[in-house]
Amino acid sequence: MLSYKSILLYSSLALQVQASLYHFTNPTTCCSLLHSEFHGGPSKVFSSIAPQYEALTFYWTPTAKVLPRCVFTPYNTNDVKKAVKLFARRNCQFAVRSGGHSYNPGWAGIKDGILISLGNMNQTTYDMNTKLATVEGGSRWTDVYGALLPYNVTVLGGRNSDLGVGGYLTGGGISFYANKEGFAADNIASVEIVLGDGTVINASRHHHPDLLRSIKGGSNNFGIITKFRLMTVNANGLFNGWYMRYPFASTDAYLAAAERYCKVGADEDTNSHIIFSASIVGTNPMTNVALMAYDGALDPLSPPSVLEPFFNGTVSSPTFQWFAPNGTIKSATDGLRDAQGSGNRYTMTTLSIHVKLSLLKQLREAWLLETALTENLQTTPGFLVQFAFQPVGKKWIAASEAKGGNSMGITKPLAIMWIQLRWDNESDDNKMLQYSRRLISKFESISARAGNPARFRYLNYGDRFHKNDIIPSYGSDNVKRLQRTKKRYDPDNVFGRLVPGGFKIPGY
């Protein structure tokens, strides 16, 4: 029997042979074919000299920006289908973009190819009988939450409301309801998807169940999702969001309280939600920052018991700051959107750990040391680094399983950990990217040495250097299922050979 490693090796050889067999059509020809196909209709093609081109190629971070030969803006599924058919027939390379929040260049963009920007497909409707929301694939969460508010329901979506639904949901999706309801992707009841041969199908737990499951964490590998039908949750009460900051001197107590929350707290009270982080801005000292949210009322003088250690002095010298007092999921996520404004250079990188206080301390130390020892790092204009983690507890995993499972293969509690970096100038890209690369490989060796490392890497926080590592981190059974689904639903590998961007399934 072939080992998992040999399957990967053969798959990659097959990929190289396959690539050399294809000849891509010149993008200018592809753009003019597209233009003739859609001339006079609502869906449009914009070349680089069109006044709209600049806005259509705006990304949340300029780090992601690459310039396509033209941008196609479909208004409906039928036009997406016609375009994909044309690209497959003529071997035109393209990219798919929903909210454009990916920070990796060429993930939701393409140099010289055609960018399909789904931004005009942004409607949300709600069916009171089925309690499902239908959300078009180019929507942003702020609009989705806004459309559902009058019904007192919401869906699991971005904590920053500016994110697009397409990339977020196909990458897994961590929402404020995750401790109770699992990944946002687990709450997809069905999707309408345009496949590589232009067929449009609906995948649900009853029809094409493997395709539905594969999409949950499978990114853009199977087709373009034009509609998501999402399970809803009640949103008739208050939703609260705030930051707790603690000075450097409180770090050990902060990490100890974080360990407890990760191991039991997140399961004890699933209305609570915490991201544990620490930030360094420029040459300032490190600050511990916990981003907290509660689905329910919050009185800072009498917090829910699971949050008490963060308020009552167990972690000393807290500073409290609201970002969404007594509001809704929309006000909370709009608050974070405004706090995390666009325009900076940016990257994230990720791994997971099985939480242990000693390991958290070692990783935190390694981060501080690497930051201090990297020459001229903190004086980089606009420098900010954030070291963050949050638990995936037993109830989160059980909710994922109960709703049909996903592709990501998390079976035991862990913490997703990430490094987030911001800076101002393109000339510092290399320095910052190399620093994040060194950090993550240090973290990998530290957590391997600590024993029982977690293999999972969260796709939505993955970086370009792990293009081919994210999906393998789901484990061999999941990779095999993804490969089977790929073979069945995209046998000509349209979304591999013609869509170069994104995290790929081994062999494609």
Ligand X SMILES: Cc1cc2nc3c(=O)[nH]c(=O)nc-3n(C[C@H](O)[C@H](O)[C@H](O)COP(=O)(O)OP(=O)(O)OC[C@H]3O[C@@H](n4cnc5c(N)ncnc54)[C@H](O)[C@@H]3O)c2cc1C
Residues within the interface to ligand X (CB under 6 A): 60, 95-103, 107-108, 118, 137, 158-160, 163-164, 166-168, 170-174, 219-220, 224-225, 340, 460, 501-502
Q: Cα separation of 188 and 132, whole Å? A: 9
Residue 21's CB: how many other CB atoms inside 10 A?
7
Which two structure tokens, joined as six digits, stand for 319? 């500073």
Q: Minimal distance in Å, beta carbon 230 to ligand X?
A: 13
Place of tokens 């329910």: 296
User: In the complex with ligand X, which residue's Cβ is closer, 241 or 309?
Assistant: 241
Which two structure tokens, joined as six digits, stand for 507? 């062999």
Q: Minimal distance in Å, beta carbon 306 to ligand X?
A: 21
- 61 — alpha (psi -120 to 50), left (phi > 0) or beta? beta
Q: Minimal distance in Å, beta carbon 40 to ligand X?
A: 26
Q: Cα separation of 159 and 330, whole Å? A: 9
Contact 84, 198 (CB under 8 A): yes
Q: Minimal distance in Å, beta carbon 124 to ligand X?
A: 14
Instruction: Return the closest-CA partner of residue 83 out of 17, 35, 24.
Output: 35
User: In the complex with ligand X, which residue's Cβ is closer, 255 or 291?
Assistant: 291
User: In the complex with ligand X, which residue's Cβ is closer, 140 or 395?
Assistant: 140
User: In the complex with ligand X, which residue's Cβ is closer, 300 or 382?
Assistant: 382
User: In the complex with ligand X, which residue's Cβ is closer, 192 or 250?
Assistant: 192
User: In the complex with ligand X, which residue's Cβ is closer, 250 or 390?
Assistant: 390
Contact 456, 473 (CB under 8 A): yes
Q: Cα separation of 436 and 371, whole Å? A: 10
Instruction: Return the closest-CA partner of residue 320 out of 420, 263, 421, 240.
Output: 240
3-state secondary structure of 77: helix
User: In the complex with ligand X, which residue's Cβ is closer, 164 or 507?
Assistant: 164
Widest CA span of the chain, in angstroms? 67
User: In the complex with ligand X, which residue's Cβ is closer, 336 or 359?
Assistant: 336
Question: 299-308 contacts: CB < 8 A, separation 24 or more?
Answer: 300/242, 304/269, 304/271, 304/272, 305/269, 306/261, 306/265, 306/268, 306/269, 306/272, 307/269, 307/272
Q: Minimal distance in Å, beta carbon 298 to ligand X?
A: 20
User: In the complex with ligand X, which residue's Cβ is closer, 64 or 315?
Assistant: 64
Q: Minimal distance in Å, beta carbon 128 to ligand X?
A: 26
Its sign, for the CA torsion 200, 206, 211, 214, is positive
User: In the complex with ligand X, which residue's Cβ is closer, 239 or 309?
Assistant: 239
User: In the complex with ligand X, which residue's Cβ is closer, 83 or 224?
Assistant: 224
Q: Minimal distance in Å, beta carbon 88 to ligand X?
A: 15
Residue number closest to ligand X, CB atom: 166
List, as one string, the DSSP characters of 9-37: HHHHHHHHHHHHH--PPPHHHHHHHHHHH
Q: Minimal distance in Å, beta carbon 280 to ligand X?
A: 18
Q: Minimal distance in Å, beta carbon 460 to ligand X?
A: 4
Instruction: Return the closest-CA partner of residue 142 out of 172, 121, 164.
Output: 164
Q: Minimal distance in Å, beta carbon 109 to ligand X?
A: 8
Q: Minimal distance in Å, beta carbon 182 to ligand X?
A: 12
Q: Cα separation of 243 and 230, whole Å? A: 29
Contact 210, 400 (CB under 8 A): no
User: In the complex with ligand X, which residue's Cβ is closer, 230 or 315?
Assistant: 230
User: In the complex with ligand X, which residue's Cβ is closer, 224 or 307?
Assistant: 224
List, as one string, the DSSP characters of 104-141: STTTS--SSSEEEEGGG---EEEETTTTEEEEETT-BH
Q: Minimal distance in Å, beta carbon 33 to ligand X?
A: 21
Which two structure tokens, joined as six digits, stand for 69? 């030969």
Q: Minimal distance in Å, beta carbon 237 to ligand X?
A: 21
Q: Cα separation of 359 and 336, whole Å? A: 29
